Chains A and B, each alone.
Chain A
């Protein structure tokens, strides 16, 4: 169980323009084990999304290294802030976009896609356009598009932030249990503290820019079943929330508030 899937070691990254350099990440190190659901919280604009892009290999760190599990050639799935379903494609064509661009569209992939569709209650919308779906359904379709690639590590970049509050609660619960059931390793970035507590096994708190890990807080809730909604009613929830809030608000200087 303690096999690390992802190790980040001394990651540094800066943004450059002619007016100077903005350090986004400095000597950031952490590790995620197989099957864990880790949330990263931090003050806004601290470089959380940059970190995900680096892990996903979209941008290269200036120094430091990302070590992915060597035993199995691990694939990274990435869920963006919005569903970004392509409106000129049907849902079916949208969820097969990954296999299509990587040239891995096989009968097995199609079977997996239709199984996921019916599992997530979207088979009726297979031939519909994204515009005909509700926000929550679109988010689920986006999750299927990611899951079809059979990722070993799932990166979630505030995937619920574009939804309204009620939908957000439902969809985060929904997607949280799907991920938990599939036993996939996941890394969630969020600025919503209660979302982090209700979904994750462990929460990493980031310092303000340049970001590094400030705190590593394990989440242990006494629960009969691990659903994000029941997590909010767990006795430990309030204390964890207060603790996280203190950690985060320390990162904002007086001036910024």
Chain B
């Protein structure tokens, strides 16, 4: 906060001193940014227009490919009958629950592995194998074991990210500067002090970037789960829509998924931003 204040003072003092070249630099900088933003929207709208036009001129069959106007009208219809909130809501809820459980379980496991070198040596090959296993292969088994329903879907979401997350966090913990750990020991601290005074605070960037990966993977896992074991949710809509050839439903669901994925990612980004600001 102090530095921010200093900076604004500095800027205030500098205002009359801005040279022509500096002005030009700032001008060019913002022009470049605006240009990028405009072009991004342009790409988006060009895509929509081509998609819509191709449908209208019968270059593509809207029965299979839908069109922006059909998606919008279907979206409005879903809003009106409330099914949007039921399906998107349940997917969102399952994703957030999976994500929280992944974070909790992997933090605890990684901490345990950091504490016990022996344990981590024993478990390492198992973690590596489980991490490289395609988790969608587990989903049918999960249904048999756990039945259909929200529980199974959350477990599917967890299974996709958990092993990678444990490995990432553990590696992050292990990369703590050994001299900083030595410092704690020379001051008379024990391994517990070393963990929560040094390892944990210095691993926050790793933890945050790991969360970014996890939130995406949790969504993947939840959708896989919903494909197989749900009566509700966007994954269910996608599977159901394909089976009855309601492709509007499928494409609208996919677009809503895009929006959810973006929103969740932004949340973590915001957390990271908050952390950097505090620092």
Contact = CB atoms under 8 A, between A and B. Distances in A.
Interface of A: 56, 58, 76-78, 80-82, 84, 86, 88, 97-98, 100-102, 127, 132, 145, 149
A98 B2 CA distance: 27
Interface residues of B, number: 21
A145 B279 CA distance: 22
Contacts of A101: 184, 187-190, 193, 197
B147 interface: no
A58 B187 contact: no
Interface in B172-208: 177, 179-180, 182-190, 193, 197-198, 201-202, 204
A140 to B, nearest CB: 16
A19 B122 CA distance: 24
Contacts of A127: 2
A97 B197 contact: yes
A149 B187 contact: yes
A55 to B, nearest CB: 11
Given A82-B179, A84-B177, A84-B179, 7 more contacts: A80-B186, A86-B201, A98-B188, A101-B189, A102-B187, A102-B188, A127-B2
Interface string B36-64: 00000000000000000000000000000
B187 A86 contact: no
A58 B184 contact: no
Contact of B279 (A78, A81, A84, A88): A88
14 contacts: A58-B186, A78-B186, A80-B179, A80-B186, A82-B179, A84-B179, A84-B180, A86-B180, A88-B201, A97-B197, A101-B187, A101-B197, A102-B188, A102-B189
Contact of A56 (B3, B186, B193, B201): B186
Contacts of B198: 86
Contacts of B186: 56, 58, 76-78, 80
The 4 closest A-B pairs by CB, nearest first: A101-B189, A78-B186, A98-B187, A101-B193
Task: Pick from B182, B186, B193 the residue with the most CB of A within 10 Å.
Answer: B186
B193 to A, nearest CB: 4
B187 A97 contact: yes
Nearest to A58: B185
Nearest to B193: A101
B279 A80 contact: no
Given A58-B185, A149-B187, A100 B197 contact: yes
A101 B185 CA distance: 9
Contacts of B2: 127
Contacts of B187: 78, 97-98, 101-102, 145, 149
Interface string B1-34: 0110000000000000000000000000000000
Nearest to B204: A88
A84 B183 contact: yes
Contacts of B279: 88
B43 to A, nearest CB: 40
A157 B106 CA distance: 38
A76 B193 CA distance: 18
A145 B180 CA distance: 14
A102 B193 CA distance: 9
A242 B189 CA distance: 42
A81 B179 contact: yes
Nearest to B181: A84
A115 B185 CA distance: 25
B188 A149 contact: yes
B56 to A, nearest CB: 58
A77 B185 CA distance: 11
Contacts of B177: 84
A80 B201 contact: no
